[in-house]
Chains A and B, each alone.
Chain A
Amino acid sequence: MNKNVEKKYFTLLIISIVLLICVVLLALIIGRFSISIKDVVNFIVGKSDSNSLNHNVILKLRLPRTLMALFVGCALSLSGIVYQETFQNRLVSPDILGVSSGASVGIALGLLVGVPVIFISLMGFVFGILSMISTLLLAKVFYNKTPMILILSGVIVGGFMTSILSIIKSIANADTILPTITYWLLGSFDKTEISDVFIIAPIVVISATIFVVIKWKINLISLGEEEATTKGIDYKKYRLVIICVATLLTASAVAFSGVVGWVGLVIPQIVRIMIGRNTKYTIPLTITFGALFMVIADIISRSFFQAEIPLSAVTGFIGVPIFVLILTFKKTEVNVRD
């Protein structure tokens, strides 16, 4: 019965992994400074001259940002799909609990005060988590158990954070700090260093492992509290774990890359169209396709024009048409609830 789906799943998984490897290699080759395939192969096998320009461009510029794109793509699309399943709403995106706005405030504040660059991401991360906690606490105050109340609380906290961000921007020096804040928040990997990759990699790998381990049970969480509980699942515990881990993923992504829209919304939809609804299959595929999408978006953002295009603009240009197509041709796939 499930044999066909399983076969399709493994085929898609292998295709996406192979494509991902190809695209990562391509990302090391493509750029304004031309590097040959031979140089990249030499770099990978460790035969390139460590003093050469090619070697340094790959090691210090292209490899860190490509790996960062890969991890941020995983993080955003994965948190997108688990939020959508948990809140039973296909139009939910990773910033739903006010995490992105909170992280933006942290980053802007960091830049305003002038803390060292390494701490700016950390501040984004901390503020992202604080926003999520505020959202959870606010939802408790309302004394309403529906998933909708959490989303509403997220909108409230997000709105409040946006106000704070406006204040920070208005008092920031318009010639020096304001452009930096604006550019950072538009989303980019151009400041990524390999040390950043070492911070985000374990977060994404551990979080993704957790979701892969509980991938089948996420199906039951998506049925809602009543059905999940009566079928023997500790709904509240699972939901808390899912929300916390997904928030961790979102906060780290925003902290290192700024606010990048559409990935968390579009990738889960595409994956569902390809393989169906069962999270046993959608979770792993969302990881590979999310990474693939983001690495491609990064290549586009830095290759087509003299100046870099902000990531959000690229993901928007790709994401919006895809989303419109999905809504037009697959009406049954997008089931808006609540």
Chain B
Amino acid sequence: MIEIKDVTFSYVNESRNVLERISINVPKGGITTVLGLNGSGKTTFIKLLVNLLKPSMGTIKVNGYSIASMSIKERSKMISYVSQLTKNDHDFIVFDYLSFSLANCLGGFRAPTSKEEEKILEYANKFKIADLLSKRLSNLSGGERQIVSICGAFIQNTPIIVLDEPTSALDLKNQSIVIKAIKEWNRSKEKTIILSSHNPNHALSLGGNVILLDDSKIIKNGSVEDIITVENLKQVYGDIIDYAKNIKHNIIAIK
């Protein structure tokens, strides 16, 4: 479904490549977690997927079409994007904010009609956030805020959803809520979800595939079972990682 070929990226005026000759195919359906340390190139990888950054070399294709040559509208019908939780919160009402996700299917300059807005209620019920609809975004907790953003990505109705560290800046409880929610909503595997994280536990919890990034390169990729091993993780995280196999659910612990 997503075909990344020989992609290299460096910022203008910087000689160091943030990503170097990345090639990988992401299959349709299911979840793929991009794992790596801070500065390994995760966010750059995610932003290249949504064309917010453009590769210095190489191509990214979705269903055979280069994403760089798609129009902004075409791309927004193909891939939706959830950014990292930042401090500069918008103080829109949640309902209004979610209505912005309908922009990609509206012609001209108009706002969505009340009939089109019914979709917001439908998804809000599905995501169990109907009680948040009349609140201000700035009054939500970090976890609620991220769930609203992810709900927006589903309302945008794209086959691919890309999330940049959806759990960063969240406490442990909220991390778990967001991770469980992503897993739950994609049980039917109708969407292709790609997210970045620095925590291997998230990949374990989500299942699916993992791309292990280190020092600008993909060092491993494949199913969670194959990739999340002590040897592989030690390559990225060093000796601080301990794999606690005796616990019922596999958990990666810090020594």
Contacts and interface: CB of A to CB of B under 8 A. Distances in A.
Given A1-B133, A1-B134, A213-B109, A232 B93 contact: no
B103 A231 contact: yes
26 contacts: A2-B117, A213-B109, A216-B110, A222-B90, A226-B52, A227-B100, A230-B75, A230-B80, A230-B81, A231-B76, A231-B104, A231-B156, A232-B72, A232-B73, A232-B76, A232-B103, A233-B72, A276-B96, A277-B91, A277-B92, A277-B93, A277-B96, A278-B92, A280-B111, A332-B136, A333-B91
A236 to B, nearest CB: 10
A231 B101 contact: yes
Contacts of B101: 231
A337 B88 contact: yes
B83 A226 contact: yes
Classify chain B's interface size. Answer: 35 or more
Interface in A254-287: 276-278, 280
Given A233-B103, A337-B88, A216 B109 contact: yes
Given A214-B109, A216-B109, A232-B72, A332 B104 contact: no
Interface of A: 1-2, 88, 143, 213-214, 216-217, 219-220, 222-223, 226-227, 229-234, 276-278, 280, 332-333, 335, 337-338
Q: Tell me whether chain A's interface is mostly helix, strand or loop, or mixed.
A: loop
B253 interface: no
Nearest to B90: A223
Interface of B: 12, 50, 52, 72-73, 75-77, 79-81, 83, 88-93, 95-96, 100-101, 103-104, 109-111, 114, 117, 121, 133-134, 136, 138, 156
B138 A220 contact: no
Q: Which 4 residue pairs across A and B have the least CB separation, nearest first?
A: A232-B76, A232-B104, A216-B111, A230-B81
Contacts of A338: 88
A229 B72 CA distance: 7
A276 B94 CA distance: 12
B237 to A, nearest CB: 29
Given A2-B95, A220-B100, A280-B111, A234 B72 contact: yes
Point out which of A214, A231, A232, A278 has the most chain B C-beta atoms below 10 A from its C-beta.
Answer: A232
B92 A227 contact: no
A216 B133 CA distance: 19
Given A217-B103, A227-B100, A230-B79, 9 more contacts: A222-B90, A226-B81, A227-B83, A229-B52, A231-B101, A232-B76, A277-B93, A278-B93, A337-B88
Nearest to B89: A335
Given A1-B121, A223-B100, A234-B72, A332 B77 contact: no
A217 B109 contact: yes
A275 B93 CA distance: 11
A217 B107 CA distance: 12
A333 B72 CA distance: 32
* Residue of B89, B111, B117 contacting most chain A CB atoms (<10 Å): B111
B17 to A, nearest CB: 20
